[in-house]
Each structure stands twice: as C-alpha cells, then as structure tokens.
C-alpha cells in the first residue's frame, strides 16, 4: 500500500462506463479523478471494472468475488502502509484474469476485504504489475486506450520513442522503478505508478529541496484504505523529469512522512508510454 488516498480513488469509479476490446487489441480506459479504470474479467464468469496500478506489486480481487468463485487463500503478502506500517493480506492463485482477450495466471493475487467501504457493484479489483509484466503495453492518455503491442507495432515505437531503463527492487520485483531528476539538483529511483494521480516526492527529497518552509500552508489530512490518518503536503516544483527531453516544469507534487517516491499520472499523462517489463525498459514520447 502506498502513501495516497486510495479509498477515494476507488470511489471515483462510480462514474465509469468503460468500453471493450476492439479489433486492434486496444482497450479503452476511463481516466477519472486521476487514475485509470478498465473493464476486465476474473475466471470465465465474473466481469467488472479494475483500477490499473503499475505501482502495485500484486494485483487484487475483492473478497466477495473470491467467495463467489470459491477461491480459498493459500498465502500472505506483506506491504508498506502510510507511516512505514507493514500490513498483510491473504493471497491465492487466480487461474484466469484478463483485460480484453489478454489473459494470464497470477500465482499470488491478493484478496482484499473492503469492509464497509462504498464501492460500485461493478468494481472487482486492481490490476498490478504482476499482470502487466506478462505483456508489452502502451498507455495512450490522449486517446484513452491501452495498446497490447505485437512485435511490428513495438518496433515502430522503438524508432519514435526515448528508451528509459526499468529497475526492480528485490522486495517488490514486479514494480517498475525509473531514475528521476528533480529541480536539476536531486536524482533517485522512483516508482512508475499509474495508481496515484499526483507525483509524490520521497519525504527526504522534499526536505532537501527546502519545500518544508511553508508546511503550514500546504498540508492536509488524508486517510487511506486501512483507515490510517496522516498529513499530506502538496506544492509545486520547478522541474521533474527522466532526462532533459522528458521533463515537466511546474509540476504539482505531494509527500508525507515515510513516503515512497512515486511518478504519478500528472507526469505520466504528458507522454505516450510503452512498458516492456521483460526487456526492462519503457519508451516515452511527449504528447504535443
């Protein structure tokens, strides 16, 4: 779990009406409240909407869907919550989970009990990087589509895009990390995270840049899906980028104590991005 208002993101899905796969293996997504929502399916019978979150090491389905399919948890997965708190959720093997006709098996899909949270009936879970790593996927925010690439289309994108290396962390081996440069002075490895609307600075980077001088004016109270309460700080920074050609100026950012570095959708949506987990690179082309 990351430092964000995850429960609010899920609730934003109430307004969605996603479209299905078309002939070009392209799937429409809805970009609502800063996150991506797609139609998908668990098994052969359960259809609904997923949030697409590259910053999640493990996908999850909600408990009521697992109960309907008689899926019994067989393991546990640990993850960091706000304030550095570690939490555990049960996992199970899901033989078939798909977006459009793109189907894979997940060996450790989390089973999330949302309790009394109000979510739409059509919401069935979250697609994380454990699913996406099995495909080469392009995020096209301008057209609001995901493109599951074949070899020919990928080779075309290679000629047009800027290649950025993807790094991984042994504690979360599915999550893509990329090296960023902040205000032309700080650099570090941040998570490429379609699960958050706003880019989040590592808290130490926030302090090192002197952005804490006006904390009283930029802080707000936040709450996440685990009901943890914490203070979030939001402001604007001069520049945030992956290199000189892939930089956005005057970008809104957020942070909180013990915050991970997250490349959020307010940065990502400025680019056409192709993720190739297997070859450990992403292609970026700035959208004009």
Q: What is the pLDDT of residue 154?
A: 86
Q: Is the pLDDT of residue 183 over 50?
A: yes
- The distance in angstroms from the start CA to the end CA of the chain is 33
Q: Is the pLDDT of residue 3 over 60?
A: no
Q: Which of 30, 26, 1, 28 has the alpha carbon at shortest distance from 13? A: 30
Q: Is the pLDDT of residue 278 over 80?
A: yes
Residue scoring higher pLDDT (213 or 265) = 265
User: In 127-144, which positions are buried (b, 16+ CB within 10 angstroms) versus exposed (e)?
Assistant: bbbbbbbebbbbbbbeee
Dihedral angle computed from the Cα positions of residues 140, 167, 234 and 220, in that order, rounded to the nearest 10 degrees: 110
Q: What is the pLDDT of residue 157?
A: 84
The Cα 259–Cα 193 span in angstroms is 13
Q: What is the pLDDT of residue 121?
A: 85
Contact 175, 129 (CB under 8 A): yes
The SS3 of residue 210 is: coil
Q: Which of 208, 213, 254, 207 has the alpha carbon at shortest distance from 234? A: 254
Residue scoring higher pLDDT (121 or 184) = 184
Highest mean pLDDT pick, 2-16, 146-160, 205-219, 272-286: 272-286
Check residue 256 and report its DSSP letter: -
Q: Is the pLDDT of residue 276 over 90?
A: yes
Q: Is the pLDDT of residue 189 over 90?
A: yes
Give per-residue pLDDT as tens, 63-75: 999 999 999 999 9
Q: Which of 2, 98, 123 has the alpha carbon at shortest distance from 55? A: 2
Q: Is the pLDDT of residue 267 over 70?
A: yes
The residue written with tokens 């070899």 in the block is: 151
Q: Is the pLDDT of residue 152 over 70?
A: yes
Q: What is the pLDDT of residue 115?
A: 76
Q: Is the pLDDT of residue 1 over 90?
A: no
Helix, strand, coil percent content, the chain, rounded in steps of 5: 20, 50, 35
Question: Average per-residue pLDDT in the chain?
Answer: 85
- Domains of the chain are 6-151 (2.40.70.10), 163-286 (2.40.70.10)
Residue 79's pLDDT band, with cuts at 50, 70 and 90, is low
Q: What is the pLDDT of residue 114?
A: 82
Cα 44 from chain centre: 25
Residue 160's pLDDT band, with cuts at 50, 70 and 90, is confident
Residue 216's pLDDT band, with cuts at 50, 70 and 90, is low
Question: Hey, what are 145's tokens?
Answer: 């589509």
Q: What is the pLDDT of residue 7?
A: 38
Residue spans of alpha helices (H) in the chain? 6-11, 63-68, 129-132, 151-160, 203-208, 215-218, 265-268
Please state, in angstroms and as integers, the Cα–Cα distance from residue 208 to each residue in 135, 171, 186, 236, following that order. 38, 26, 9, 15
Q: Please state, for a pLDDT cut of 70, what percent of the chain lies above it.
A: 83
Give per-residue pLDDT as tens, 25-65: 899 999 988 999 999 999 988 999 999 999 999 999 999 99
Q: What is the pLDDT of residue 84?
A: 52
């Amino acid at each position: 779990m990351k430092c964000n208002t995850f429960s609010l993101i899920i609730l934003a899905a109430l307004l969605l009406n996603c479209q299905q796969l078309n002939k070009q293996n392209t799937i429409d997504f809805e970009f609502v409240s800063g996150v991506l929502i797609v139609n998908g399916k668990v098994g052969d019978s359960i259809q609904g909407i997923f949030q697409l979150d590259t910053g999640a090491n493990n996908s999850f389905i909600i408990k009521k869907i697992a109960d309907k399919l008689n899926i019994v948890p067989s393991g546990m997965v640990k993850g960091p919550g706000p304030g550095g708190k570690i939490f555990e959720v049960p996992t199970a093997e899901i033989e078939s989970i798909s977006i459009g006709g793109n189907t894979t098996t997940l060996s450790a899909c989390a089973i999330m009990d949302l309790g009394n949270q109000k979510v739409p009936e059509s919401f069935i879970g979250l697609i994380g990087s454990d699913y996406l790593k099995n495909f080469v996927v392009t995020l096209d925010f301008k057209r609001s589509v995901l493109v599951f690439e074949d070899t020919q289309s990928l080779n075309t994108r290679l000629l047009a895009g800027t290649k950025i290396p993807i790094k991984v962390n042994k504690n979360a081996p599915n999550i893509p990390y990329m090296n960023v440069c902040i205000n032309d002075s700080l650099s570090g490895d941040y998570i490429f995270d379609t699960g958050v609307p706003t880019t989040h600075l590592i808290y130490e980077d926030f302090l090192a840049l002197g952005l804490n001088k006006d904390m009283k004016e930029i802080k707000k109270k936040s709450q996440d899906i685990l009901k943890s309460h914490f203070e979030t700080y939001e402001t604007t920074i001069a520049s945030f980028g992956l290199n000189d050609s892939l930089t956005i100026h005057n970008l809104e950012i957020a942070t909180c104590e013990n915050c991970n570095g997250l490349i959020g959708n307010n940065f990502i949506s400025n680019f056409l991005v192709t993720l190739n987990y297997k070859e450990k690179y992403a292609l970026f082309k700035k959208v004009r």
